[in-house]
Amino acid sequence: MSNIVLGDKEYFKGIGQVKFEGKESDNPFAFKYYDENKVVAGKTLKEHFKFAVAYWHSFCGTGGDPFGPGTRVFPWATNSDPYQAAKDKMDAGFEFITKIGAPYFCFHDFDLIDEADTMAESQKRLDFITDYAKEKMAESGVKLLWGTANLFSNEQYMNGASTNPDFKVVARAGAQLKGALDATIKLDGENYVFWGGREGYMSLLNTNMKREIDHLGQFLTMARDYARGQGFKGNFFIEPKPAEPTKHQYDFDAATVIGFLREYNLMDDFKINLEVNHATLANHTMQHEMEVAASAGLLGSMDANRGDYQNGWDTDQFPTNLNELAEMMMIFLEHGGLQGGGINFDAKLRRNSTDLDDLFHAHIGGMDNFARSLMIADDILTKSNYSKLKADRYASFDSGDGKSFEEGKLTLEQLAKLGDNTQLTSGKQEMFENIINNYI
């Protein structure tokens, strides 16, 4: 657990380091399940999860929505000088990160400091604040899970960034991308993420989809080549989302992204950063998306949150559902965890959660729920007959004709000769479901 790292003042007064006290504790500012040193399935919880705090939601987002402005008043957002304001925000950020005990953080370039009117000034600001970040990281031991460029907020990107119909905007996006890659490398970021918020379309009527997707492939290829040339050894991640703010986003879901990576020869460098709420907006469970990505060896990282099954937009709530988390963690363990990434809390407080301590409640709940779910999943996989029951269903492919089929050694005529009516075998879904709940 890192020491608390403060700047010139303390922002979250009255709250010290959040500690593990166990499930019987009634201290709302203690972990009930997340004991970072506890070993489960051969690794500590800290190593399994590599929890990261999302800079944007936690230290920048004041709660605005399409029907009203922000509600949260941040004591670190009072200075009119953008440089000092950015330092204050970073002091508050590292205070929170070290108090909650997360070993990582994640950022978009202009989360760290406000973007300026000119690109030159923006780059200067970025250089300044990444210098300061380097100091804070060294002092605290907190690391950068991943960096990314915000290529969706600026009005320049209203028609897309790398997929903009206007090459001038693509070039602007390229310049910003280079700055974000440089910043990530400078801070020893372990990974770099692409979320293409505006890489899609509002209307097919005015869109040349093929040409836009080709440009996206070109852009990512250039990014990869540049970063590798700069010595970056980390992973590149693409984060799928089906829509919002666009009507359709090209990185719709894991399967779409995998198809894209394969087509544009990016499979060796890129993996997938899945987000729960994006999965459900695409009409998939998160478990499904994890299985799809992991089956391709591309389960890179995860953005932890949840959506609302009755609403159709990205609500980015903190995760609470134990059944869903336990099933997610089963897949997590079955596939040996994440490929290079971690668990980033891309989750935000509700607009009407306006107390400073609400950020603690939210993260404590999220981290506890993950820890608890991992332990449940480990129990199911190691103490119950779950894995055996599942493997047994496929036993007919482990030898004989079934194995020959799987290995591609049968022709259709040979297969057809083996075919006849057979006994039905129950899928026993309800029994499988009972096993899960017996371990929650």
Question: Which of 188, 392 has the CB closer to a second copy?
Answer: 392
Shortest distance in whole angstroms from residue 391 CB to a second copy: 8
Among 34, 110, 157, 370, binds a second copy (CB under 8 A): 157
Q: Is 215 a catalytic residue?
A: no
Residue 424 in 3-state DSSP? coil
Q: Which of 57, 108, 215, 363 is catalytic?
A: 108
Which 188-207 residues touch a second copy, going by CB under 8 A? 197-198, 202-207
Q: Does 255 bind a second copy (CB under 8 A)?
A: yes
**43-44 and 235-238 strand pairing:** unpaired
CB neighbourhood size of 285 (10 A): 14
Q: Read off the DSSP letter of residue 154.
A: S
Shortest distance in whole angstroms from residue 193 CB to a second copy: 15
Among 9, 13, 124, 417, binds a second copy (CB under 8 A): 417
Which 54-83 residues touch a second copy, going by CB under 8 A? 63-71
Which 125-144 residues touch a second copy, going by CB under 8 A? none
Q: Does 22 bind a second copy (CB under 8 A)?
A: no
Q: Does 429 bind a second copy (CB under 8 A)?
A: yes
Cβ contact 14:25 at 8 Å: no
Question: Which of 8, 413 has the CB closer to a second copy?
Answer: 413
- Whole-number Å distance between alpha carbons of 74 and 64: 13
Torsion sign across C-alpha atoms 58, 342, 145, 271: negative
Comparing CA positions, the residue from 57, 135, 59, 130 lying closest to residue 317 is: 57
- Whole-number Å distance between alpha carbons of 323 and 302: 18
Mask for 206-225, x = binds a second copy (CB under 8 A): xxxxxx-xxx--x--xxx-x
**Residue 382 CA to its chain's centroid (Å):** 27
Stretch of 39-47, 74-82, 132-140, 316-324 contacting a second copy, by CB under 8 A: 316-324
Comparing CA positions, the residue from 58, 45, 23, 42 lying closest to residue 356 is: 58
Shortest distance in whole angstroms from residue 135 CB to a second copy: 27
Q: Does 427 bind a second copy (CB under 8 A)?
A: yes
Among 153, 185, 186, 379, binds a second copy (CB under 8 A): 153
Q: Does 262 bind a second copy (CB under 8 A)?
A: yes
Stretch of 35-43, 76-84, 91-99, 318-326 contacting a second copy, by CB under 8 A: 318-326
Comparing CA positions, the residue from 111, 132, 188, 107 lying closest to residue 7 is: 132
Question: Which of 43, 403 has the CB closer to a second copy?
Answer: 403
Report CA dihedral (157, 162, 168, 172) to the nearest 10 degrees: 70
Q: Does 167 bind a second copy (CB under 8 A)?
A: yes
Write out the DSSP string of 290-304. Answer: HHHHHHTT-EEEEE-
Say whether the peptide bond before residue 245 is cis (omega within 30 degrees of 0). Answer: yes
Task: Return all residues near 212 (Cβ < 8 A) that are at least 6 apart.
Answer: 160, 163, 165, 199, 201, 250
**Tokens 């801070």 belong to residue:** 187
Among 7, 103, 147, 174, binds a second copy (CB under 8 A): 174
Which 84-103 residues touch a second copy, going by CB under 8 A? none
Stretch of 11-19, 78-86, 137-145, 176-184 contacting a second copy, by CB under 8 A: 176-184
Mask for 360-389, x = binds a second copy (CB under 8 A): -xx-xx--xx-------------------x
Q: Is 111 a catalytic residue?
A: yes
Q: Which of 111, 182, 346, 368 is catalytic?
A: 111
**Tokens 């804070």 belong to residue:** 136
Shortest distance in whole angstroms from residue 340 CB to a second copy: 20
Task: Return all residues near 134 (Cβ < 8 A) that are at least 6 apart.
Answer: 186, 187
Q: Read off the DSSP letter of residue 59.
A: I
Question: Which of 39, 204 has the CB closer to a second copy?
Answer: 204
Residues annotated as catalytic (active site), given as ranges: 108, 111
